[in-house]
Amino acid sequence: MSFKEKLKNKKSSIFIVITIVILIIIGIYAFNKYSHNNVDNAEAESYIETYIIPESEKVFINGIVIPKDSKDFTLSADEEIVDIKVKNGQSIKKGAILYTCKNQSIIDEISELKLQLSHLNSSQDYDDPSISLEIDKLNSQIKALNEKAYTKIYAPFEGKVFLNQDSEESSSLMTLQTNEFYMQGKASEQDLAKIKIDQTAKVLVFSTNQELMGRISFISERPTSNSSDEYQQQSSLSYYDINITFDSQEGLINGFHVQASIKLDNTYTKIPLSSILKSEDTSYVFKDLDGVLKKQVIEIDSQTEEFAVVKSGLKENDIIIKNPTKEMQEGQSISNYGNINNSESNINDNNLEGEI
């Protein structure tokens, strides 16, 4: 065999080997891709999709903590303080003496009447009936004025007293406030129709992050008249005063800013129609109860091709199976049918009747 023939055979062998290697690589790649796709499909098929019942709609009201009752005590131009009986920040009972004041103009008038009385008493004509009548009259006037010259001021209710003598902003002598507080806030005209008296509210105290429970005690039917109010500046909506009483007074301080959240009394909820199964005349869904199937009978109000409005049987944060099968039975582990894939609600529960 010539050298050229040997070289030609060697090249052919190398070409064959390279071709075989390439085919092997292509085969391995195709096999891996096919296997990976099958795994992905198997994983996709092994997931059980669930649906979480959304929380009920809430109305949020911003406000401030204020005392249930408050009274400022001021002096007239003719009055002067004689004695203050309380200390700043002191807690007092109803009927306690706050201070004593005098009316200098009345005191001056009493002095003038006493001078007149002295002149009459020094008169030589004691038997003159007119002088006796005048003396009696002056004595009566002096007695009546003495009752007005000095006045004791009493606390009209139990609470805490604050002295304003060193305050340049206040013209009052002192302020008495009750120890009971409530929240005063404002609701927009859009939210006014959604709330009602005695409705439960959860109140957040911003400064302490404390949460308190309370109830709506007052809803004004007249919009706030203060045009400079921050609420009025935010939009063209009207705002209405709302009062909320607290179940507990613990940790409350006058002036604290708070926010009340009021859960609306709407028991209707909207769920995917695919999640509902029927047994004769009964409609039900399967709930995910700690990984175990729980059959839950529901009452349907209305439905479309995609959704149903349920008026009883479900509550917020319940987890239901989105696409249950007839093979599912109560008490079975959901893992028997695959892994759970929770999906948050993206259904708008507002105006349900209009959408159905």
Indicate the residue type of 158.
Answer: E
Note the helical H segments in 151-300: 189-192, 230-234
**229 is written with which tokens?**
């109010």
Give the domain ranges of the chain. Answer: 61-67+180-263, 73-175, 267-355
Model confidence at 346, in pLDDT bands (50, 70, 90)? low
Residues forming a β-bridge with 102: 80, 150
Topology of domain 61-67+180-263 in CATH is: Elongation Factor Tu (Ef-tu); domain 3 (2.40.30)
**Phi (first) and psi of residue 60, to 5 degrees:** -110, 130
pLDDT of amino acid 355: 45
Residues 6-30 have pLDDT tens digits of: 555 666 677 676 777 777 888 777 7
Please check whether residue 309 is in contact with residue 269, taking contact to mean a CB–CB distance below 8 angstroms. Answer: yes
**336 is written with which tokens?**
């028997």
Topology of domain 267-355 in CATH is: 2.40.420
Residue in 57, 68, 53 with CA at minimum distance from that of residue 261? 57
**Max Cα–Cα distance, the chain, nearest Å:** 181
Mean pLDDT score of the chain = 83
- Model pTM? 0.62
Most confident of 25-34, 137-146, 165-174: 137-146
Please check whether residue 210 is in contact with residue 251, taking contact to mean a CB–CB distance below 8 angstroms. Answer: yes
Indicate the residue type of 93.
Answer: K
pLDDT of amino acid 230: 53
Higher pLDDT, 307 or 265: 307
**Mean pLDDT confidence for 169-198:** 91
Higher pLDDT, 126 or 275: 275
With left for phi above 0 and alpha for psi between -120 and 50, is residue 57 left, alpha or beta? Answer: beta
Model confidence at 235, in pLDDT bands (50, 70, 90)? low
Hey, do 61-67+180-263 and 267-355 end up sharing a CATH topology, with the first three levels equal?
Answer: no
pLDDT of amino acid 331: 92
